[in-house]
Amino acid sequence: MTALSIHYYICVHCLQYLELNFRSYISAKWYGFQDPQSGLEKFVWRAGTTKGGDNVMAATELHITEVAAVPDLSPLLPVGTTIYITVRAYNRAG
């Protein structure tokens, strides 16, 4: 069975990164994802310069959590650009 991902898609608008010292660090915190029928299986998060994009950080699978961070991002975050983090929840239905 393959897990479906038809619910719980959200884009989080992040800060404009003005601090040059933190261009290699990206993190996100979210809450409210639920699936009372089958339960959640995993999250996938990515970051880009457009909503839903992944040109800053490729999609990465996470266990069930409400926070994620990458302390050594490469390449560095672009200066003066809004970064959009997308978190997608996958349920156990299939």
Q: State which fold the 9-91 domain adopts.
A: Immunoglobulin-like (2.60.40)
Domain borders along the chain are: 9-91
- Angstrom distance (rounded) from CA 38 to CA 35: 6
Specify the pTM. Answer: 0.76
CA 21 to chain centroid, in Å, comes to: 22
Nearest to 28 by CA among 60, 2, 3: 60
Q: Are 82 and 10 in contact (CB under 8 A)?
A: no
Whether the pLDDT of residue 60 is over 50: the answer is yes
pLDDT digits (tens, 9 = 90+) for 14-54: 444 445 567 888 888 888 888 888 999 999 999 998 888 99
